[in-house]
Structures are given as C-alpha cells and as structure tokens.
Amino acid sequence: MNGGLLVAGTTSDAGKSVVTAGICRWLVRQGVKVAPFKAQNMSLNSYVTREGAEIGRAQAMQAQACRVEPTAHMNPVLLKPGGERSSQVVLLGRPVGEMSARGYHGGRQQRLLGTVLDSLAELRASYDAVICEGAGSPAEINLRRTDIVNMGIARGAGLPVLVVGDIDRGGVFASFFGTVALLAPEDQALVAGFLVNKFRGDVSLLEPGLDMLHGLTGRRTYGVLPFRHGLGIDEEDGLRVSLRGTVRESVVAPPVGADVLRVAVCAVPLMSNFTDVDALAAEPGVVVRFVDRPEELADADLVIVPGTRGTVRALRWLRERGLAEAIARRAAEQRPVLGVCGGFQLLGEHIEDEVESRAGHVDGLGLLPVRVRFAREKTLARPVGEALGERVEGYEIHHGVAEATGGEPFLDGCRVGQTWGTHWHGSLESDGFRRAFLREVAAAAGRRFVPAPDTSFAALREEQLDRLGDLIEHHADTDALWRLIESGAPQGLPFIPPGAPA
C-alpha cells in the first residue's frame, strides 16, 4: 500500500486537524504504517522535534496518533504570525526570516511548492500511507494561484480530497456545494466527497440532505461524526480565537482534596503554546481560565504569564490593562506567579530587543533578577532536567537569551519566593513535577488541594487520540475510506459549474 489523502475543510476550524488525527489513529490500529503531513501551517503553537526542528503542534499530535516520532518533513513550512500582516517563515524546522503576507503570497509561497512536494515524497517513500491536512478552505479563489497546502499539493501529488464541514456552525450543505463549485475542473476531479463533523441529533433527519447533496454533486458523504466534548486538542491558532472567558476543558473527576485550585492565564497578544496549560486542566480539581482584566486575578491561586511571539508587545499590553500592577502585587504578597518563555522574559528586569520588536532597551516587570537579550539565532531544544526533586522534560523555542543574576535556579530560569520563570514549554506534562509544583502552589495559596496521585497526562492524551480513532471507526464508512486512500479519487466525477473564475 502506498496511499494518501488530503483532508480539506469548508472553513478554518472545521475539524481538519482532529479528523486527520482520527484517520491516522484508525489506520495505525489496522496495522498500517502511517504519517501525517501539512505542507504549510500558520500557528503560534509549535513543537520541537528530536532533531531540533520546529513544526506545528497539531502535526506533533498527529504523529503521536500515528505512534511515530514527528519530523520536519511532516510540516515543512510553518508561519508564525508576528502581527496582523507579517509572519516568521520557518522552513524545514528552521527560521529563514520575516515576511509580509503580500510578499509571501506574491511569489515566495509558490517557490516553496517543490520543497513541500519533496517532503511529501520523502514520507510516502517511508510509509504505507500519508494523511495530509489542508488549511483554511480550498475554495479561497484569491489565493489559488500560489496555493501549496490545499489543491496545489493535491494536484502536485495526485491526492484524493475529503472535504470536512462543521455542521454545528450551520450552512454545511451550501458550504460543501460551494466549495466544489468554486474549484477548477482539474481540482474538482480530485474532490471525492464529504465528511460531516460535529453533528447533534438523529442522523436519519440528515440523510435526505446527504442524498440531495450526492445528486447535486455526484459525490458521496463518507461519514457523519457526532459532536463530542473535549476533542479540540492542540489548537493551531490563538490569533483568530477570542479567549475572553474561555475555560480549558478538564476531566469531570472531583478534587482529591477539600479545595479546587484556580489558575488564571493572562491572554497576552500573540500568545504562543497556550497548550502548556492543558496538563493543568487535566488534573482533577484544577480550573484553568484565560483572563484579560486585573480583577480576574483576585481569586486565582496561580497566575500564568504564557509564551508570546511579542514579548515587548505583551509587556505593554499588561501595563495598559493594569495586569502588570496586579501581578507585581501578587508577587510582593508571595502569591504564586509562573512565567513561561516570553512570559518569563517579561518578568525580568531588563530586555534588550533588536530582533523581535526592535524596541531596544525596555524595562521588564522586575519580579525576577533576569536580564534578557534577543539573539538572531533561535534556540530550539529538547532539554531534560530536574526541579522540585522530580525529572522534567520540555522543549525550548525562543530568541531571547536570559541571564539570571540571582534567585534560586528553576529549570533554565529562576525562582524568587513564589514567582517562577522558565523557557521550558511542556514541563507541566511531566507528571511528578506537575504534582510537586501544584503542591507548592496550594501551600502558598492556603488551599486544601491535593494533586491526584495517578493522573498521567500521556495516558490521557492517548485516550483522546483513541477517541478520535473510534469516531472514524464507528461513524465513517471505513471500507470506502480505505479504498479512497489506497486507490485515489473515483473516476468520472462530474464537474459542478461555474468552477474557478478565470
């Protein structure tokens, strides 16, 4: 078997990432050696592979669904937004510069098509099947000429295309029909059919519409996936999503101790790797929410300042909103504060930045004895260490180089009283360390909170991935899906006018 499939979507956030992961997990349980692939990803949630390459976290999660190590070939182009109009371009795991959206779509993107096709070919030579994820919608007609992640990659590699639609948003039939009808004939010939995502209710009520859609397009629906809570793992994009009032989904189990523990995460601009807090949300009795007002810190037992692609911008935002003053007051009162990566940097005394913001010398919050200098070379690493008597694993993605001039060592950063700072993402996924850290937080906060003794974040992640595999196995036509992956799009699919504009 040397199969492949492109999972496209009618919109962003239609469920492409989780459907791709679900198909990957279903295939690997059938004994298929499978790999994920996304030609181009725009995300501030990234990950570092064992060889020190930076890729999107969604592809790392999908690699875990495949039970393989992630590599740079699984996400050869990663765009990390630095604002509304520019992004850092990461090529095969290494940053190659900043570029405006106009400059990227004006020519650079199309020149990368050969690179992404080479990466896909490398994976297809090593695996039985490669399940590719698209981006946004394949019917973005203003971008089709330079597209390398949707129909561009499907045409270049001859991949069949499955279009996912989120029925929970409404308008899914129009979205399916319109997506196909806005594609060129050569692109339409690769669109095999549809997959309905997040359906609530009686499927029999949907079936007449699916029959009519088949009559209108000549394309079948490969499955109707029911709505399930708690499956939005490793989201790609924190820019589009308003985190106002968002609470991370956590397990339903009650707290082990008498009290819950409340965690407030400052929703800083250009927030990166906010998935760091998922391991906390997985703990029974820990409530995690994102906040953007100082009064929302009042009842928090732990405040986290997360990573950001704009440390100086985030610092200014904290000051403008009064959050900086509230955090400083907490630190003075010995109430727990944790800064991660960019959040760690802005807790320091001084920042010298001629790289990210080009702001030069900027005073930090002064809560940790740390000086930060931004280097042009990005640090990408997978460190292992010890803290609070426990083994810790993490990963580093940062331009800022921190020099601690005092305090107590903490991972690669430092600690003063109940204010902690580190560059290490993912450290809270180390179960023993997370429990030890939460015990310290609970003691400082005066809470009778007790970490569950047996919570395994890795096991919970595996359970989520198995739930995704179950969705595909139980609610998709897996025989038809297998034929599609193995043999490609059916021959003779009809053209749906008007097609792409000239």
Strands (E), 32-171: 34-37, 40-42, 46-48, 54-56, 77-81, 86-91, 94-100, 129-133, 161-166
Per the CB < 8 A criterion, the answer to whether 7 and 154 are in contact is: no
Rounded to whole angstroms, how far apart are CA atoms 6 and 192?
10
DSSP string, 260-305: -EEEEEE--TTEE-GGGGHHHHTSTTEEEEEE-SGGGGTT-SEEEE
Q: Please name the residue that has the structure tokens 């239609």.
A: 14
The rounded distance, in Å, linking the Cα atoms of 103 and 92 is 19
Distance CA 308, CA 227 (A): 31
Pairwise CA distance, residues 76 & 53, whole Å: 10
CB 6 within 8 A of CB 187: no
Retrieve residue 454's tokens: 């047996």
Who contacts 159 (Cβ-Cβ below 8 Å, separation ≥6)?
A: 4, 5, 6, 132, 153, 190, 488
Q: How far apart are CA 143 and CA 141, in angstroms?
A: 5
User: Facing residues of 40 across strands?
Assistant: 77
CB 134 within 8 A of CB 16: yes
Q: Please state, in angstroms and rounded to a whole number, the distance separating the CA atoms of residues 489 and 502.
A: 25
Residue 62, phi then psi, degrees to nearest 5: -65, -35
Annotated active-site residue in 24, 132, 266, 341: 341
Residue 127 backbone phi and psi in degrees, to 5: -125, 155
Which tokens is 21 given? 């992961």
Name the token pair of 27: 């295939």
Task: Give the span between the Cα atoms of 10 and 138, in whole angstroms.
Answer: 7
341 has catalytic annotation? yes
Active-site option among 73, 398, 425, 475: 425
- The residues carrying an active-site annotation are 341, 425
